[in-house]
Amino acid sequence: MPTPILDFDALAHAISGRTVLCIGDIMLDEFVYGEVSRISPEAPTPVIVAQRSEIHIGGAGNVARNIASLGARCVFVGLVGNDDAGARLRGALADCAGIESVLVSDPSRPTTRKVRFVSEHFSTHMLRADWEQAIAATGEVETRLIEAILPQIARADIVLLSDYAKGVLTARVIRHTIDAARKAGKRVIVDPKSLNWAIYRGATLLTPNRKEFSETTRSRADTPQSIADASEDVMRLADCEAILVTQGEHGMTLVPRSGEAVHVPAVPVKVRDVSGAGDTVAAALAVSLAAGADWDTALRMASAAAAVAVGKRGTASVSVAELRRKILPHATLAAEEKVVSAPEALEVQLAEWKEQGLRVGFTNGCFDILHPGHVKVLTAARAACDRLIVGLNSDASVRRLKGADRPVQDERARAEVLAALEAVDLVVVFEEDTPIDLIKRITPSVLVKGGDYTREQVVGHDIVEAAGGVVVLVDILQGFSTTALVHRARGEIK
């Protein structure tokens, strides 16, 4: 069965209007980076010379960060202590655009805090120190959590439970949340920690990693088929629609209650840090499903988001732009990046090429309907230089030159078609009737036009030659003309 086309931009737009209610164990993540060059004289342990540190919102808070960075709105409910770490988390959440936090305070427990000491040179974790009290919330705190959660369900498009087994998601809190969400017709995703999946009964989707799934089902879970076979009983126990088992570099396998299992390979990437990859998967699934994506699309979004996350250090969040670059084909992105409109962007690119000693070529035209004659000129132009810039007449300019019924395609469409050609390195739209101002700004080493022009007829030839450049005329391919193609399409030429 062919993979459906993922319209990323349409999905991203839909995500921007969705709200995810995220509930779970928040923690303060600190990363201390330094160099290790000696062993302590006090004990046989390495000494790390700290050079810098980073603070991140971790645990379920990292899920919230990813929901917001992927473009959705997140309402987050969690539990903190009455301490400095809790105050820092409150402040950090308040500074995160797209996150509205409802934090319940429990003075009897410390805010969960994890400090990781990392070798800068080897990018390896040397030690982790935890401050936490991993016990269930008391009955009074449970009640306050439930009272904080229930009013938010009506606002949410989907509910996400991120369980780190630090005390927020007790059986009672989970039960009230899932029951209220189901009554309101809202789907629930659970990233489980408890091996007793009966407490998540009624959730839409469970997202264990392979180790958690294997321990819960007492299965090897080493192939998509073995995962599918082991899922049948636990899906009935949990009364869920599907189970997604994440398997790191081996990808992820979705087993729906009805239908065939779907396996999505991992996106190839150089792994720098796997911290928080599961958070990113849960967030990407939540925002995709909230926006109306099907299972296949949501899985592909989650797999790509995980690939971006593990390529970063620390508990990283993933932006829409980063996810877009990971999902869309390289050719699509390359074409988009070739089209520039701001003069500043053109200047930056020119400076970079000239600093590298590259010969910059220039040609121009309307390129209304691209045909083999155009391709020949553009290919020959690129062969005469190291980087080719194409000046493209704007729609208004084409109308003045060709008549009110032209162009056939608007300037954006024409620019994208040109940018998709390997011979073209940059496309710049200009408003004037001639590209003389653009040529003055670029001062190309090579100016190229079709052989139906003479050297003296080429706009800007004097400017280019005065700067030491050359004019190249390319023999045109006979029998091809945009105007003739337009007339033929309109039935004006037999």
Q: Are 339 and 415 in contact (CB under 8 A)?
A: yes
State the sign of the Cα–Cα–Cα–Cα dihedral 285, 286, 289, 292.
negative
Q: How many residues belong to the chain?
A: 494
Quote the CA–CA distance of 398 and 407 in Å, as a whole number: 6
Q: Which is the catalytic residue, given 25, 191, 273, 279?
A: 279
Active site residue 437: no
Residue 205 structure tokens: 């989707």
191 Cβ contact partners less than 8 Å away, ≥ 6 residues apart: 24, 63, 160, 161, 162, 163, 207, 208, 278, 279, 282
Q: Which residues of 156-191 are buried (b: 16+ CB within 10 A; e: fewer)?
A: bbbbbbbbbebbbbbebbbebbbebbbeeebbbbbb
Query: Rg of the chain over CA atoms, in angstroms?
Result: 29
CB under 8 A, 24+ apart: contacts of 353-357: 353/386, 353/387
Residues annotated as catalytic (active site), given as ranges: 279
